[in-house]
Amino acid sequence: MAEGVKLAIVGATGAVGQEMLKVLEERRLKIKELLCLADPREAGTIVKFAGEELTVRAADDKAFKWADVALFAVGTDVSRQLIPQAVASDCVAIDNSYAFRLEKDVPLVVPEVNPEDVKWHKGIIANPNCSTIIMVVAINPIHQAAGLKRVIVSTYQAVSGAGKAGLEELDQHINAHINGLEPKMEVFQHPIAFNLIPHIDVFVDENYTREEMKMVWETQKIMHAPQLRIAATAVRVPVYRSHSEAINLETEKPLSVAEAREILSRAPGVVIQDDPQNNSYPMPLYSSNRDEVFVGRIRRDISTDNGLVIWVAADQIRKGAATNAIQIAQLIIDQNLY
């Protein structure tokens, strides 16, 4: 491997960890040494990277002493347990879980939106929720141009957002439906095949789910807009990969559809796909395995002054998780912030 950073992936055997390996190989980060870490029960597993076979090691405090930067692709409880050990070993932690996102002294970063926030990290940088990442890449350019007053978003979230088990449950439910059998619910609250479930994560205050409130709290933090009014509805849909979102925006200043399209066409990480007369608009099938956020159906919100409506789709495993974390790592490496 090339000279560069000593990088660890914690959760290297999971879906996001495996995607991180794929994205790292594609983006060719300067890596001196790559450590693949996971649950001690998975120690000894072989993973492949850049034509090499790497042996997975147990994730513990000793491992972090050998790493400069660690990408965490594990659950909240594991992150809370291991990340303090990484920081104590002078290893910068980039965490994909919810554990530290709203902590005051932890930057919450989407590189197309607030890359400067990495500079004030104290050993931990949080990767936002996948739906939040997708939304802020699309709406921040509008906010910078005309000032956002209000955002109403409805998400259409793929089953892979619930991990490998979510994918398997959709397959099982499709087969059950076709064969007249009763589906078994282990991941989702109701049958997901041929259905929509307006319930992701647990219900909290005002009967919003925590998934919905993540989009509120995290967007306000990332965009440095604590007064921005946001309401979200998160829906699980029987799609394998890539989340979609319908977003209504109310701006401080008037902005025409043409102006919004021009602004978004120049925005980093955005691809305009907006030709409805020729049936061209973002869809999850075609945004899968891509890193961009696709934006289309750009139109005036006829229910309010200074209103716009957009439709977006993006791969939540890549841009919504693995790719965004690696982009953060790139910022850290480029600026020697580890």
- Give the mean pLDDT of the chain: 96
Across residues 55-68, what is the average pLDDT? 90
Across residues 219-231, what is the average pLDDT? 98
Give residue for tokens 């289309």: 296
pLDDT score of 56 more than 60:
yes
pLDDT at 29: 85
Give the pLDDT confidence of 131-162 residue by residue, as tens digits.
999 999 999 999 999 999 999 999 999 999 99
Nearest residue to 237 via CA among 207, 209, 208, 198: 198
Active site residues: 130, 243
Give the pLDDT confidence of 237-248 residue by residue, as tens digits.
999 999 999 999
pLDDT at 47: 93
pLDDT band at 2 (very low <50, low <70, confident <90, very high): very low
Give the pLDDT confidence of 206-223 residue by residue, as tens digits.
999 999 999 999 999 999
**Is residue 33 within 8 Å of 11, Cβ to Cβ?**
no
- Shared fold status for 5-128+321-334 and 132-316: no
Radius of gyration over alpha carbons of the chain, in Å? Answer: 20
Given its phi and psi angles, is residue 78 left (phi above 0), alpha (psi -120 to 50 degrees) or beta?
alpha
Across residues 19-35, what is the average pLDDT? 92
User: What are the Cα distances from residue 119, in Å, to 72, 111, 186?
Assistant: 19, 12, 42
Give the pLDDT confidence of 106-136 residue by residue, as tens digits.
999 999 999 999 999 999 999 999 999 999 9
Query: Which residues, listed in sequence order, are joined to residue 10 by a DSSP beta bridge?
Result: 37, 72
Structure tokens at 83: 């990340």
pLDDT above 70 as % of the chain: 99
pLDDT at 103: 97
User: What are the Cα distances from residue 176, in Å, to 184, 199, 237, 239?
Assistant: 9, 22, 17, 17
pLDDT at 51: 87
Across residues 61-77, what is the average pLDDT? 93
Across residues 64-90, what is the average pLDDT? 95
| Model confidence, pTM | 0.95
pLDDT band at 305 (very low <50, low <70, confident <90, very high): very high
| 132-316 carries CATH number 3.90.1010.10 | no
pLDDT score of 3 more than 80:
no
pLDDT score of 278 more than 60:
yes
pLDDT score of 292 more than 80:
yes
Of 3.40.50.2300, 2.30.40.10, 3.40.50.720, 3.50.50.60, the CATH number of 5-128+321-334 is 3.40.50.720
Nearest residue to 232 via CA among 199, 267, 195: 199
Q: Where are the domains of the chain?
A: 5-128+321-334, 132-316
